[in-house]
Amino acid sequence: MSSKRVYWIEGDGIGPEIWRAARPVIDAALAKESDMRIEWVELLAGEKATAETGSPLPEETMNALRTADFAMKGPLGTPVGTGIRSLNVALRQTLDLYACIRPVRHFEGLETPVKHPERVNMVIFRENTEDVYAGIEYAARTPEAKKLIAFLREEFGVTKIREEAAVGIKPMSEFGSKRLVRRALRFALDTGSKSLTLVHKGNIMKFTEGGFRQWGYDVAAQEFGDLTCTEKEPVEGRLVVKDRIADAMFQEALLRPEQYQILATPNLNGDYISDALAAQVGGLGLAPGVNMSDSLAFYEATHGTAPTIAGQDKANPGSVILCGALMLEQMGVPAAAERIRNAMSKAIAGRAVTVDLAAQVEGARVVGCQEFGEIIGACL
């Protein structure tokens, strides 16, 4: 019997509850389709790590992840505006998890804010290490901010920045942009998708987001030229590479979602559009995601820690369960992944769901986090 080691981080807030509900479902789905088993190894991060080690992100955790193939985690909390910078961002940058991949689809039976949520079936590839999320910023009126403003004025003649401003830097590189788009292109071709769309704000930020757009087209032409074409010069049977301005893409996602399959985006745009698309199909409770380097696939719940309901058995474990489906696909057991998705559909059809989904399911009976996981497991 073969096994795959998966490092897991419980998470803060509702993290412990959703893990208890999700892990048995993942194990059971795998057992029904394969002799392979998962060896789960816990790592510490967040509040639990701080309580036990004094550090929210211990070096022992990072050392283990540097050698890992697979990892999963619940939500990790970070104070807003003060204290430690985001643990999620720290993990992504330190481990070079440059591709945030978010599939978004609708589960029948969920009422949503749009008339035809079933038309949404997209996978978002978001660059994960650059852009404004690189965290290069300085608080207003600090010596660092004043020095940077003075440098820009004296060396580049930039006079439009107020002296009391906070300032940040938005790095976007050819290397980072191309490797993200390259990964998205390979996925699009492997899955037989019709199109890949570069989402950017290059009409205004011509050298950062405009660079992302151009580098995306370049990698498609230079490395996949015999398999791709552009929207302006379509070729029958080839993957169409096109681009959309970010704000226009939000409109397209509402009006014509069926025309888009794969999106490749810079960091900030991808954050916005992936959450907006999730809202169109029912919310973050059923939105899985994975952050990937060239060696590590790190799956995570896409929602937050929800501290107001922590410990009350009200949380929805669906995001982590569906992360498990993504992971099983990556492990080479797609039948187990599809079994989880089908079980989720059956559970929703049965109308016994957690409180966040109940408002979207006609005639729903509200159940707790643990029971919802058990219902999904029984539907496998």
Residues marked as catalytic? 133, 201, 247, 271
Spatial separation of the C-alpha atoms in residues 24 and 5, rounded to whole Å = 16
Spatial separation of the C-alpha atoms in residues 157 and 289, rounded to whole Å = 43
Q: Determine the distance from the C-alpha atom of residue 204 to the mean position of all C-alpha atoms in its chain, rounded to a whole number.
A: 26
Nearest of 147, 104, 135, 56 to residue 278 by alpha carbon: 104
CB atoms within 10 A of CB 251: 11
Spatial separation of the C-alpha atoms in residues 240 and 374, rounded to whole Å = 42
- Sign, CA torsion 349/354/358/360: negative
CB 342 within 8 A of CB 379: yes
CB 193 within 8 A of CB 239: yes
**What's 208's DSSP letter?**
T
